[in-house]
Chains A and B, each alone.
Chain A
Amino acid sequence: MTWGQFLLVAVLALPALGAVAAALVPGERAGRLVGTVAAGLTLLAALPLVGGEHGWFGYGPRPAVQPWHQLDLPWAPDLNLRFHLGVDGISWPLVVLTALLTLLCCGYTLWRVPTGGGSGRALVALLLVVEVGILGTFLALDLVLFFLFFEVVLLPMYAVIAGWGGDDRRRAARKFALYTLFGSVLLLVGVYVVVAAAGTADLVSLTGGAGLSRGTQLAAFTLLALAFAVKSPLWPLHSWLPDAHTQAPTVGSVILAGVLLKMGTYGLIRVAVGVAPEGARWAAPVLGVLAVAAILVGGLVCLAQDELKRLIAYSSVGHMGFVLLGVATLTATGLQAALIGNIAHGVITGLLFFLAGAVKDRTHTGALAELSGLRETAPRLAGLLGFAAVASLGLPGLAGFWGEAFAVVAAVRRGGGLWTTLAVLAALGGALAAAYLLRLLRRVTHGRPGPAVAGVAPGLAGAELTAWAPLVLLALAVGLVPALVLSYASGPVGALVEVVTR
């Protein structure tokens, strides 16, 4: 076993073992601590995955997926299931983001356990199981394995929402579980449509169509895209998201918005577009129209929201719309925009949910009508909220800018009446984002402190700063040096576009 394979296994085994240990270790605080250590080790194992052969040279036909490291073991041959893991420039940034956000959430739980009845170490254990599922989804290079990990996330996340969420958590959790299961059963059928036709579930050899007939590709792409559209979520399949995000505890919202949604967009790029390129070309206009509809609908709904977490949740619908628009263009620029948009949204919305949670913890309300004048009583919190909101609306120099700007650019470059119109409408949607985020800032930070805000202490806890600082820095870093993400992704994206447009 090489060093890279060892790391791949460690990235999945550490959180899994950590979850077991956190649940079994005697003592509530010890359990949380063990879980947090496991999450930290996972991040340490995920970072060096970047080392190794990135070779994008050579002659002759080459596979569209060239993992830096891979591990390929048989599991259940009668189900075409192999334990095939690998990491490349498309998945590595997401893997690191997942490991980082989980670590921050576990650390945050060390400091504060959300009320609601459940014990803190159970929450940490569940977060780690969710992490296993998400990381596995990003690392899987076998379609069936991808599906397995895609499913792993569902019930632990349900338990996080149902066990530690807000007042209406049961309904929200059920809705989340049933909606996303609907998505993943379609994924199951789509996966085996491909496997039955191609006779293999290996993503490396399947990427590029692998000689699948046009009919199979259309059927497979429809099923897969629907499955990922539920998870991403793409309008009009998004209605589970606002409830789940609003009711989930802070750490749950962060993981949900930060990385769980990315399973959908990642799957769309790696699996749906990669395996059924002809289907992708066929469905691209529909996908583009729906994505722009999501941007506009998300923006308009946000303008009318008067609950802090709900507004941020709906803003995710709009931001993921930009990501999906990037994917729908099927160009290198668009896919790059989608990837960096994924990362930026994960960082910024994760931060926004942390801040919204902090505001709600202090004021015990999320209603915009009751929040005002946070700047007067808690200037640091208000300042961070301002920073996150400005990053989210896509100010150049911060992480949110690149994904949204280049999704629009990609749509314009794609040319033709439809795509130009879509680009214009998406740009308008970007302006809507500015409008609702500035409205949010005006309502929350400006004005006179209301009764709910008046008693808020000005300081921030050390644990809060520790959890937020990496996200603030990342939002700045990715904004200033987008090459952090893009340089790794350009090779694989180029190869993917090559096989897709072949």
Chain B
Amino acid sequence: MSLVQSVDHVALLPAYLAGGTAVLVLLADLLVARAAVTVAVAAAGSAATALGAALVGAGDERRSFCVGADCSWVFGGRAALVAALLALLTLGVLAISGPLLRAGRTPPGEYCFLLACALTGGVVLGAAGDLITLIVALETLTLPLYVLVGLRRGSLAGAEAAVTFFVVSVVATTLTLLGAALLYAVTGVLHLDRLGATLAGRADLLDLPLTTVAVALVVAGLAFKVAAVPFHAWAPATYDGAPLPVAAYLSTASKLGGVVALLAVVQRALPATVTGPVLALLAVLTMTVGNLVALRQRRTVRLLAWSSVAQAGYIIAPLGALALAGGRTADARAGAYAAAVAYAVFFVLLELAAFAAVVALRPADGDGGTLDDLRGAARRHPFVGAAFALALIGLAGLPPGLAGLFAKVTVVRALLAGHAGWLALVVAVNAVLGLAYYLRLAATLYAAPDGPVPVRPARLVVLALGVATVLAVVVGFAPQLVLDVAIR
């Protein structure tokens, strides 16, 4: 075996582009020192990353950093989807950051640099082929966010939120690392596919208590990242204290990262007999608790935060079908993974639109405020309000928010194909709970307006909202587009 590995630089192109964006942003901030240029560089870099990921992903799967048949870098359809989606989300978050950056309490150079760093982590995450790369990539995605949450100068809430997030997240990473170490101790391998083959091939390993503990630790650590109940308590406090665009990033890009990591280990590495029941339980708890608590929220961002906890439950739900033997056939498994990815794609689109609408309707540099602050907003700004209502209804999973409806349909279909009818019923009943609060928020938008003078939505924010809405409508009428990329 040669000691010098040949590196496939084409496969690494998206990561280079994302990393290069971070460096360029830093340089632009240093040399030009104008906020507009910095943001433009970050936006251009994100767009280039998305394009690069799409181009590389259009071809065959590319592998690099291989030891024998096991590779640490596998850039296939899923990796391309994740990279492109994260890059586009970064672009969207940059677009809705205008009011925050103009308010002057947040340094634009650092802000854009940190976002680009997080993007780099996300791009690597999708292509990670072994446990260490996966965990490091996930940490690279999360680490900049600790700072971003507390970046606003003089914001006590932001600092509190950042510390909460930091502590919880570090504990979660430690758990995952410990789990990975124990898995290595049991099997002696770290590559995801090899790990899956080893655990599947040797039944005696599965009987070891150590294996079960290791698997549970990995899954629990990753469940923190997606804010699944009972590892969710950090999310509402963090979202509410963070600046709105960062909260949007947390609930879309960061959550997507967690889902991708969870999906990678569940699909490729860990035995379904152990993860299935755990994930089914997590999904049921996450959906139900998230929805029930969201019913009582009076603050907009907290409501969206709890609702995104519940949505994480819907994303995990198809994986819960692995709990039963009927859900572990090859077809059912492929369907379940595709359904989770498809739901995540539909969800981040609608969630980004919802947050963009909140940013548009709230004063610059303001927080999300209470529901009452949005009273009558749709009568003052008919189009922004309608887009917001459409996003909320989509999150609830009803027409005319067809994207959300098809997301729920995909999940229910995968569950029933996997003979997990009971879990499908839980999802269905939770959809009713969800409608109760989404409807309350949407109805508030159309209530008779009173109180403060309306703010004028920033143009770029409205543009981002418009693009997200149009995309949501398009995939709502052509869900097959999303389903096709999700299954790759």
Residues on A facing B (Cβ under 8 Å)? 75-80, 117, 133, 144, 147-148, 151-152, 154-155, 158, 162-163, 170, 174, 177-178, 181-182, 185-186, 188-189, 192-193, 195-196, 219
Q: Is the CB of B439 within 8 A of A158?
A: yes
| Known pairs A76-B479, A76-B480, A79-B409; A177 contacts B425 (CB<8 A) | no
Q: Given A79-B483, A151-B398, A155-B399, A177–B429 Cβ distance below 8 Å?
A: no
B186 lies within 8 A of chain A by Cβ: no
Q: Known pairs A77-B480, A174-B436. 15 more at Cβ < 8 A?
A: A76-B479, A78-B410, A78-B483, A79-B406, A117-B448, A151-B398, A178-B432, A181-B435, A185-B429, A185-B432, A186-B428, A188-B408, A188-B412, A189-B412, A192-B409
Chain A residues with CB under 8 Å of B435's CB are: 177-178, 181
B457-488 interface code vs A (CB 8 A; 1 in, 0 out): 00000000000000000000011100110010
- Bound complex: CA A76 to CA B475 (Å): 11
B41-49, B256-264, B354-362, B413-421: which lies at the A interface? B413-421
List CB contacts (< 8 Å) of B422-445 with chain A.
424-425, 428-429, 431-432, 435-436, 439, 443
Q: Are A189 and B409 in contact (CB under 8 A)?
A: no
CB of A135, distance to nearest CB on chain B (Å) = 14
The reply to whether B399 and A144 contact each other, CB–CB distance below 8 Å, is no
CB interface residues, B 156-180, toward A, < 8 Å: none
Chain B residue, CB-CB nearest to A192: B416
Residues of chain B contacted by A133 (CB below 8 angstroms): 399
The residue that B432 contacts in the complex, of A79, A158, A163, A182, with Cβ under 8 A, is A182
Q: Can you list 27 pairs linking A and B with CB atoms under 8 Å apart?
A: A76-B479, A76-B480, A78-B483, A78-B484, A79-B479, A79-B483, A80-B413, A117-B448, A148-B402, A151-B398, A151-B399, A152-B399, A152-B400, A155-B399, A163-B446, A178-B435, A181-B431, A182-B432, A185-B429, A188-B408, A188-B409, A188-B412, A189-B421, A192-B417, A193-B421, A195-B416, A196-B417
Give CA–CA (A440, B339) in the complex, Å.
Answer: 55
Taking CB atoms and an 8 Å cut-off, the chain B residues in 163-208 that contact chain A are none
In Å, the complex CA distance between A182 and B429 comes to 7
Q: CA of A170 to CA of B443 in the docked complex: distance in angstroms? A: 9
**What chain A residues lie within 8 Å of B479 (beta carbons)?**
76, 78-79
Q: Are B439 and A189 in contact (CB under 8 A)?
A: no
- Set B400, B428, B484: member contacting A188, Cβ < 8 A: B428
B272 within 8 A of A: no
Interchain CA distance A352-B400 in the complex, whole Å: 31
Q: Is there an interface contact between A192 and B443, defined as CB atoms closer than 8 Å?
A: no
Known: A152-B399, A186-B428. Is A177-B406 also a contact (CB below 8 A)?
no
Bound Cα distance from A196 to B329, whole angstroms: 14
A-B pairs with lowest CB-CB distance, top 8: A185-B428, A78-B483, A196-B416, A192-B416, A152-B399, A76-B480, A76-B479, A182-B432
Answer whether residue B393 sits at the interface, using C-beta atoms and an 8 A cutoff. Answer: yes
Tell me if B428 and A189 are in contact (CB < 8 A).
yes
What is the minimal beta-carbon distance from A176 to any residue of chain B, in angstroms? 11
A219 near B421: Cβ-Cβ < 8 Å? yes
CA A99 to CA B280, docked complex, whole Å: 46
Cβ of A79 and Cβ of B431 under 8 Å apart? no
Q: Which of B333-365 contact A (CB under 8 A)?
A: 338
Structural contact, A148 and B436, CB atoms closer than 8 A: no
> Chain B contacts of A76 at CB under 8 A?
406, 478-480, 483
Which of B393, B428, B448 has the most CB atoms of chain A within a 10 A radius of its CB? B428
Chain A interface, >50% SS class: helix
**Cβ of A79 and Cβ of B399 under 8 Å apart?**
no
Interface check B226, CB cutoff 8 A: no
Which residues of chain A have C-beta atoms less than 8 A from B428's C-beta?
185-186, 188-189
B218 within 8 A of A: no
Which residues from chain A contact B446 at a C-beta distance below 8 Å? 163
Give CA–CA (A192, B406) in the complex, Å.
Answer: 13
A177 touches B439 (CB 8 A): yes
Query: Given A182-B432, A192-B412: A151 and B424 within 8 A (CB)?
Result: no
Question: Which of chain A's residues have a CB closer than 8 A to the CB of B408?
Answer: 188
Q: Are the C-beta atoms of A189 and B406 separated by less than 8 Å?
A: no
**What's the least CB distance linking B169 to chain A, in Å?**
34
A192:B424 contact, CB within 8 angstroms: yes
Nearest neighbor of A159 in chain B, beta-carbon distance: B446
User: Smallest distance from the beta carbon of B187 to chain A beta carbons, Å?
Assistant: 35
Query: Known contacts A76-B479, A189-B428: does B417 contact A151 (CB below 8 Å)?
Result: no
Chain A neighbourhood of B425, CB < 8 A: 189
Max count, chain A CB within 10 A of own CB: residue among B409, B421, B439, B446 = B409
Residue of A nearest to B479 (CB): A76
Question: Is B405 engaged at the interface, CB distance under 8 Å to the other chain?
Answer: yes
CA–CA, A295 to B188, complex, Å? Answer: 71
Complex Cα–Cα for A148 and B400 (A):
10
> Which A residues are CB-close (under 8 A) to B432?
178, 181-182, 185
CA of A178 to CA of B439 in the docked complex: distance in angstroms?
A: 10
- In Å, the complex CA distance between A177 and B432 comes to 9
Chain A nearest CB from B340 CB (Å) reads: 14
Q: In the complex, are the beta carbons of B399 and A193 less than 8 A apart?
A: no
Is B400's CB under 8 angstroms from A78's CB? no
In the assembled complex, the Cα of A193 lies from the Cα of B399 at a distance in Å of: 22
A167 vs chain B, min Cβ distance (A) = 15
Complexed CA–CA distance, A178 and B412 (Å)? 19
Q: Note all chain B residues with C-beta closer than 8 A to A163.
A: 446
Cα separation A193 to B429 with both chains bound (whole Å): 16
B480 cross-chain contacts in A, Cβ below 8 A: 75-78
Contacts A76-B483, A148-B399, A155-B400 given: A193-B416 contact, CB under 8 Å?
yes
Q: How far is the CA of A76 from the CA of B486 in the complex (A)?
A: 14
CA distance A75 to B475 in the complex (A): 12
Nearest chain-A residue to B430 (Cβ)?
A: A185
A155 contacts which chain B residues (CB < 8 A)? 393, 398-400
B417 surroundings in chain A (CB, below 8 A): 192, 196
Instruction: Give which listed residue, A75, A78, A154, contacts B398 with CB less than 8 A.
Output: A154
Task: Give A163's nearest chain B residue, CB to CB.
Answer: B446
Bound together, the chains give a CA A154 to CA B402 distance in angstroms of 13
A195 contacts which chain B residues (CB < 8 A)?
413, 416
Which A residues are CB-close (under 8 A) to B487?
78
Question: Do the beta carbons of A189 and B424 come within 8 Å of each other?
Answer: yes
CA distance A192 to B435 in the complex (A): 21
Alpha-carbon distance between A152 and B480 when the two chains are bound, in angstroms: 20
How distant is the Cα of A151 from the Cα of B405 in the complex, in angstroms? 9
CA distance A170 to B436 in the complex (A): 12
Which A-chain residue is minimally distant from B434 (CB atoms)? A181
CB neighbours of A182 from chain B (8 A) = 429, 432
User: In the bound complex, what is the Cα–Cα distance between A405 and B21 (angstroms)?
Assistant: 77
Q: How far is the CB of A19 from chain B (nearest CB, A)?
A: 11
Q: Please report the C-alpha to C-alpha distance between residue A219 and residue B480 in the assembled complex, in whole angstroms.
A: 29
B443 proximity list for chain A (CB < 8 A)? 162, 170
Q: Which of B402, B406, B410, B448: most chain A CB closer than 10 A?
A: B406
Q: Which of B400, B413, B478 lies at the interface centre, i.e. has the most chain A CB atoms within 10 A of its CB?
A: B413
Across the two chains, which residue of chain B brings its CB closest to A194?
B416
Docked complex Cα distance between A178 and B408 (Å) = 17
Give chain B nearest CB distance to A323 CB in angstroms: 26
Which interface residue of A75, A77, A80, A181 has the most chain B CB atoms within 10 A?
A: A181
What is the chain A residue whose CB lies nearest that of B425? A189
Residues in B neighbouring A189, C-beta threshold 8 A = 412, 416, 421, 424-425, 428
Once the chains are docked, how many angstroms separate the CA of A76 from the CA of B346? 15
The interface bits of chain B over 100-128 (1 if a CB of A lies within 8 angstroms of the residue's CB, else 0) are 00000000000000000000000000000
- The complex places the Cα of A255 from the Cα of B478 at a distance, in Å, of 30
